[in-house]
Amino acid sequence: MQASKAGFLRRWLGQWQIQLMALCGIAFILVFCYLPMIGIVMSFKLMDYSYNLTKDFFIAPWVGLQYYLEFFNDYQFVDILKNTLFMNLLQLVFNFPAPILFAILISEVFHTRFKKIVQTITYFPHFLSWIVFGGIVMNLIAQESGVVNPLLMFFGVINEPIDFMGDPNKFWGLVVVTSLLKGLGWGSVIYLAAIMSIDTSLYEAATLDGASRIQRIRHITIPSISGTIIIFFLLSLSNLLNSSFDQIWVFQSPLNLEKSEVIDTYVYKVGLTQMRYSYTTAVGVFKSVIALILLVSGHYISKRLAGRGLF
C-alpha cells in the first residue's frame, strides 16, 4: 500500500503541470455546475418576491411541489413547451448533421490556401455575439430596407417582400438558418480534428483497391468518427429543452411572441422581472430532469443499437 502511494505521488509530481490543469477544470465544474445545485431547494420553499434570498433560504417555509404544479397548470405551459421542443428538434434535424458534412467536405479539399480561406470565413461568425450578428441579420432581412427580399424577388422565389420579423410562422425557420450560419464552421472543428486523426494508410489501401472518394468517405471516414458523432448527438439530444437565450431574445418581438416564447425567455421574464425565484427555479429543475432522462435514455439506446454510448 505504501509503495503504491509513493508511486502515485512520484507520478503526480512528475506530471504536476498536467495535474494542475485538470484540477482547474474540476474546480470550475464544482463551482459553476455542482455548487449552484444547492439552489434547487428554492423550488420547494416559499421564496418568491424575496428581498433577502440568503436569509429566506434558511427560514422560508416549505411548500412541496406547489410551484411545479403551478407551472404545469399555467395556460402558457403547452405553447412554451411546444415552441421550445419543436424549435430544438428542427435544429437537431438540420443543424446537427451540417457540421459533420462540412468537416468531411473540408477534409477532402487539397488546395491548402482555399481550405484556410473557407475555414476562416465560416469560423468568423462564431466569435460575434448574437447582439452583433443578430443586428446584421435583421438589417439584411428587413422588409423595406434589407437586401434579402429584393434578391429573392429577383430570382423569382417570392412575389412580394416578406416580413421575416413580424410573421410568427417564419420565426422557427429564422432561428434554424441563423444558428446554422453562425455555428457551422466552429461546430465542424471537432469533427475535422477527428478526421485528421484517422490513419492515412487506410485511405491509401482503399485507393489501391479501387475505392472511389465517396466509398472512402462511407466506409472509412464516417465509421472512424462515429464515436464522436454519437457523443455529440447524445449531448444535443439532452439539450432539447435548452434554447440559445441570446439568439431568441434578439429576434423576439411582440409580433412573433406566440412562436418565439421558449422556456429560457419565460424564466427570464417571470423570474427576474417579476421576482418569482422559487417558481422559475422549479421550471429550471423540470428542464434538468428532462435533460437527464433524455441523456440516459439516449445512452442506453445507443449502446443497444450501435454498441457505443457516452461511457
Interval 165-212: pLDDT, tens? 888 999 999 999 999 999 999 999 999 999 999 998 999 899 998 888
In the predicted model, is pLDDT for residue 1 greater than 60?
no
Q: Which residue has the cell 431568441?
A: 248
Cα distances (Å, whole numbers) of residue 177 to 98, 137, 162, 169, 201: 11, 10, 16, 14, 38
Give pLDDT, residue 5. Answer: 65
Element of type H or E holding 278: helix 277-306
**Percent of the chain whose pLDDT exceeds 70:** 97
Give pLDDT, residue 6. Answer: 66
Split at pLDDT 50, 70, 90, the class of 33 is confident
**Domain residue spans of the chain:** 2-306
Please answer whether residues 293 and 286 qualify as being in contact, where contact means their C-beta atoms are separated by less than 8 angstroms.
no
Topology, domain 2-306? MetI-like fold (1.10.3720)
The model's pTM is: 0.85
Please answer whether residues 166 and 255 qualify as being in contact, where contact means their C-beta atoms are separated by less than 8 angstroms.
yes
Kindly state the cell numbers that stand for 207. 485507393
Cα distances (Å, whole numbers) of residue 117 to 106, 110, 190: 11, 13, 18
